[in-house]
Structure 1
């Protein structure tokens, strides 16, 4: 795959991860005696503080890939794959791994709602429902994993970032002489603006000098 496709896809997945991490992952209803407000919503970032920093790191990787060298691209691809695998695993194990995992994921939010930090918060939970967002996050993590593998495999063949903007030659090399041999004033100005001195290429004849062997006027 091309660099543009993989980088664009990675940036899109990172933005989607940022959005998904702020959505409700768990919806709880506590027993009436546990809290005045019995409904508790647990977002992805509330249950796993590392989700948003990882998504931001993926955005940074996507921005750097466009200008990175070959070895760095491979390293960033491997790191992206690791991040993707961690995202998928943490979303699955944290919420989709059963009731114990769900309670552990929501522990901080339950403690905030009840004001009591309990080792067994399941006692105050009357109803618990998992939303679609953990599953969406698992899919996003797997896609990030595939993109990271693609970057590590194909990134070695991408052209070096910034090569297209490099000059193909010095101003002297790019300046073509006129057929009649006269100086090209526009090219000279261009050379000066690029830091070159066109007078370096001029010979004595360009300054009115002639053959040294010619006899000077007035001599016998």
Structure 2
């Protein structure tokens, strides 16, 4: 597979994973049955934005990494790939912690519904917990994201270099050639006088 195709594939996968993490964050994670007399009649549904609120900024960070990887140089691709892998591991940790302790992850929702505060008091109100598939989905997505980031770090040096618009080096114009408006604009934005008529 060519470097350009590999770059497109990995960046596309990363963007899709970021969107799926956001989707998981917005879905119901736990359904709590509270003890009778707690003030909450129907089962209490706790969504991912409460149980694992950190997933949203992690997903947005992943989207930002897609843009950065698309225009970065070879060395920075390795650094950004490692960072993406770290974000993926963070997604796994956040989701796994919520899955391992649904009562703790749902404490703020229970407090909002019953006005009961305190770690032990909130746990005492929870009679049973039903988990949806979304916490497990988030763990799997985080693992795939970590692997994708590692692949970006390993294969990044093989990707084609970014366009001239994002490069700090400019080739000297060929004598007698037509002026390049884009090159002249880049030179002007960096403080150079492309016309050679400095005041």
Q: TM-score under structure 2 normalisation? A: 0.80
Q: Which runs of 5+ in 1 are unaligned?
A: 176-189, 198-220
Q: Which of residues 29, 37, 42 in structure 2 aligns to 1:38?
A: 42
Tell me if the contact between 2:54 and 2:94 (Cα under 8 Å) persists in the aligned partners.
Answer: no
1:170 counterpart residue number: 173
Tell me the CA shift for residue 15 of structure 1.
0.6
Larger displacement relative to structure 2 (73-82 or 85-94)? 85-94
Partner of 2:71, secondary structure, is coil
Residue 103 of structure 2 corresponds to residue 103 of structure 1 = yes
Superposed structure 1 runs of 4+ greater than 6 Å apart: 164-169, 192-197
Tell me the CA shift for residue 153 of structure 1.
0.2
Largest Rg, 1 or 2: 1
Tell me the distance in 1 between the aligned counterparts of 2:43 and 2:11.
Answer: 40
Residue 69 of structure 2 corresponds to residue 65 of structure 1 = yes
Tell me the CA shift for residue 127 of structure 1.
2.5
Q: Mapping of 1:1-220 within 5 angstroms?
A: 2-95=6-99, 97=100, 101-120=101-120, 121-163=122-164, 170=173, 172=175, 175=177, 190-191=178-179
Tell me if the contact between 2:25 and 2:55 (Cα under 8 Å) persists in the aligned partners.
Answer: yes
Query: How many residue pairs align between the two structures?
Result: 178
Tell me the distance in 2 between the aligned counterparts of 1:193 and 1:114.
Answer: 66
Distance verdict in 2 for CA 1:50–1:160, change over 3 Å? same
